[in-house]
Chain A
Amino acid sequence: MNHLVIAPLLLPLLAGTILLLLRSYDTPVRRGLSVLATFALVGISLALLLHVAEHGGQVYRLGNWAAPFGIVLVADRLAVTMVLITSVLAACVVLYAVRGSDHAGRYFHILFQMQLFGLNGAFLTGDLFNLFVFFEILLIASYGLLLHGGGRKRTRAGLHYVVLNLIGSTLFLFAVGALYGVLGTLNMADLAQRLSAVPAEDLGVVRAAGLLLFGVFALKAALAPLHLWLPGAYGHTSAPVAAMFAIMTKVGAYAILRVHSLMFGPDAGPVAGLLDPWLLPLALLTVVAGTFGILASQRLAEQAAYLVIVSAGTLLTAFGLGGADAFAAGLYYLAHSTFAAAALFLLAGVLSHARGTTGDRLVAGPALPRGQLLGGLFLLIALAASGMPPLSGFIGKWLILQASLREPNMAWVLGVLLVSSLLGIMALARSGSRLFLKIDENAVAPIPARVGDLAAPAALAIAGIAMVVYAGPVYEFAQATAAQLIQPGGYLAAVLQPATGGIAQ
């Protein structure tokens, strides 16, 4: 066993615990520790990714108990990719947070590290009940982060978010209980094997449980019609928290992809393709609903929140299309859309501060000092987010559209995604012109933006550009990941037969 697999869980847990003990210490000490731990996490994730790319996926048996009786962590390509995306995002976000926005409350860094612990655990676990537990860890950390700083609108949006997620957790437990009652296991690989031989009289319960699981993950992924909580929650929280939450909808998308490919894949016998009739239509509906939201937004952070919904819809469109090409395209788009949305949230935070009482409302404001720098960065991020060439959004969308060409639903996918992209470009162009070009002479004096605040959104934009420059290797890795998902045999063998060693390439 390679202990590197559990390091992305232990490091944030340890850092969070130490930060809790150090909470009476000076701010620089706590900030330094949080930044150090987050950057170390990037290093560990990268090492894990390179290891998995070279030696195949790793299975970590906690306490050395054999699956399906013991709990396993499974670091296959998909899991380590998600962990790396999370840690890169977290490193940029923590750099922004230590510039001052972590001061609104006392526990920002503790909650932040616990959130990372929950996220990494959710990606790496190979057990359905542990997925529930890690969901709860990341959710309770996210409740604290969402409400960080307080305020009327934030509290109201937070109440809705917490209650919806509590109901989601209850439904998750019902699904887990029903699956255990019928199949007698909760290990995902073991579940997948037993599902293919489920007796006919239990089929109804299993299908109901599977769709209940899908409903819960759809709530996390903000799939229409369960997306209505997202704009309020993301649009009213502080900039670094909203940026970190860019990965939260991807946790739902990841869970859908994992369950869809592993448990309800083509080999699953009577339950094969359980999600197929739902995933693609709902994903396209999400894109449409999010696009209306982008057009109607009154504030930049709200617009970024609707962009998150559109990207969740686009991502699940790719997953719903099925097939190796579509999965690979979706994984590329997943990384891109996380970075682009987070960059836009952080920039909205900088602009909101710089424009004084005008905030990030999309109305004429004061002429901004360093306007060219801010505007240039906005242009870069908006181009990436809306999917214009030559940035990463264009490549991601192009790959998804190309994967859809062989599908019978091609016309719907092309039509919805292309019209949504056009409307998105228009809305972002209008926002840019209102924020930077329209000047209200009577507006309050602007507060000069600090260049250091722009480092984090710029770093995320650069990550997007790097995904264009290295599009070849990144897409090759995504293709290998998709191939592993299409052929879950290697995953099943590695988890259930310890002698196999790693997951075959």
Chain B
Amino acid sequence: MEALIAIVIGVLTASGVYLSLRGRTFPMVLGLTLMSYAVNLFLFVMGRLAIGTPPIVREGASYADPLPQALVLTAIVISFGMTAFVVILALRARAELGNDHVDGEEYPR
């Protein structure tokens, strides 16, 4: 299970890095989104993987670490807001610069 999660996070991050290095704003936004998914998963599993244990402390019962869940909730909200902002900004850049290249100009192929 740990290996699977690690591979998933690795693939998400690698795809995110690749896409965010692209020259057009839409793949770049997708890349940033994938990277934020990867980091959210990463934060979540930093409390260790546990099955069937609630994040509530009770006498005698095992419990999952609740803090990463709170952290990841905050991180999801922030990355969601930031993604919305960067989409609007990319649209505005498309309108003002006349194309969707991140540098605002087309380069000859």
Contact = CB atoms under 8 A, between A and B. Distances in A.
A181 B46 contact: yes
**What is the predominant secondary structure among interface residues of chain A facing chain B?**
helix
B89 A180 contact: no
A405 interface: no
Contacts of A226: none
B102 A159 contact: yes
Given A140-B82, A159-B102, A174 B39 contact: yes
Contact of A160 (B42, B81, B102): B102
A152 B97 contact: yes
A119 to B, nearest CB: 17
Contact of B78 (A136, A143, A150): A136
Contacts of B104: 152, 155-156, 159
B96 interface: yes
Contacts, number: 82
Interface in A127-181: 129, 133, 136, 140, 143, 147, 150-152, 155-156, 158-160, 162-163, 166-167, 169-170, 173-174, 176-178, 180-181
Interface in B27-48: 28, 32, 35-36, 38-39, 42-43, 46-48
B89 A152 contact: no
A411 B102 CA distance: 42
Contacts of B78: 133, 136, 169
A158 to B, nearest CB: 7
Given A152-B96, A152-B104, 12 more contacts: A143-B85, A143-B89, A147-B89, A152-B97, A155-B104, A162-B86, A166-B32, A166-B82, A170-B39, A177-B42, A180-B43, A181-B46
16 contacts: A133-B74, A140-B81, A143-B85, A152-B97, A155-B92, A155-B97, A156-B97, A156-B103, A162-B86, A163-B28, A169-B78, A169-B82, A170-B35, A173-B43, A180-B43, A180-B71
Interface of B: 20, 25, 28, 32, 35-36, 38-39, 42-43, 46-48, 67-68, 71, 74-75, 78-79, 81-82, 85-86, 89-90, 92-93, 96-97, 102-104
